[in-house]
Chains A and B, each alone.
Chain A
Amino acid sequence: DIVMTQSPATLSVSPGERVTLSCRASQSVYTNLAWYQQKRGQAPRLLIYSATHRASGIPARFSGSGSGTEFTVTISSLQSEDFAVYYCQQYNDWPQTFGQGTKVEIK
């Protein structure tokens, strides 16, 4: 199985700051990678697919980059509604696998 490793586990940031979250795959997933945001008590919400494409309705402050084994998602200016847990997921190979998540909390 492909192991997805996210870093850091927790990030303490202030509103307005630029934030970059990382995700590493144990083998190449090409660009078959998605990012999700999850708030407490809610289902995950798709932010980015195919590593760089924003999903419908996602604000432009979210951007994704990377290919192969290294990926990042950047929030250009953190808003109050962005404090949440972020997960990456690969869908290149069976079984599909998620990272363990990065929690973005208020500093």
Chain B
Amino acid sequence: QVTLKESGPALVKPTQTLTLTCTVSGFSLNEIGMRVSWIRQPPGRAPEWLGCIDWDDQSFYTTYLKTRLTISKDTSKDQVVLQMTYMEPVDTATYYCARTLPYSGYDAWGQGTLVTVSS
């Protein structure tokens, strides 16, 4: 059974760095073509793709957040990590990790974790 689960702080202060972990099971992060993305969704709004990391460690980021984002993985722990620097209240959202294979949509998602940015 394929599962993904996000973990991390529910509350961060403005200017702090957010670190979220996605722990996966039922598939390998090393499987050729495998990609895990981070996607966030502010309350009442559409999902927003943030970035991804591929099986071969290539990573891609959304344009306007590129300087604030780092996505890495630890295959020995089956984990993908998102770091987002300089958090602001507008970054308040539910953060999801999700997986995909080439030419396919995101067929498995984590439950999401709500991150609130407030002092």
Contacts and interface: CB of A to CB of B under 8 A. Distances in A.
Contact of B100 (A45, A87, A91): A91
Report, as a range, how many residues of chain B touch the other chain: 20 to 34
A32 interface: yes
Interface in B9-56: 37, 45-49, 51-52
Interface stretch (A12-20, A70-78, A92-100): A92-100
Interface stretch (B73-81, B84-92, B102-110): B102-110
A44 B61 CA distance: 20
Interface of A: 1, 32, 34-36, 43-46, 48-50, 55-56, 87, 89, 91, 94-101
Given A46-B107, A89-B49, A101-B46, 19 more contacts: A36-B47, A43-B96, A43-B98, A44-B106, A46-B105, A49-B105, A50-B103, A55-B105, A55-B107, A89-B47, A91-B105, A95-B49, A95-B60, A95-B61, A96-B52, A98-B48, A98-B49, A99-B46, A100-B45
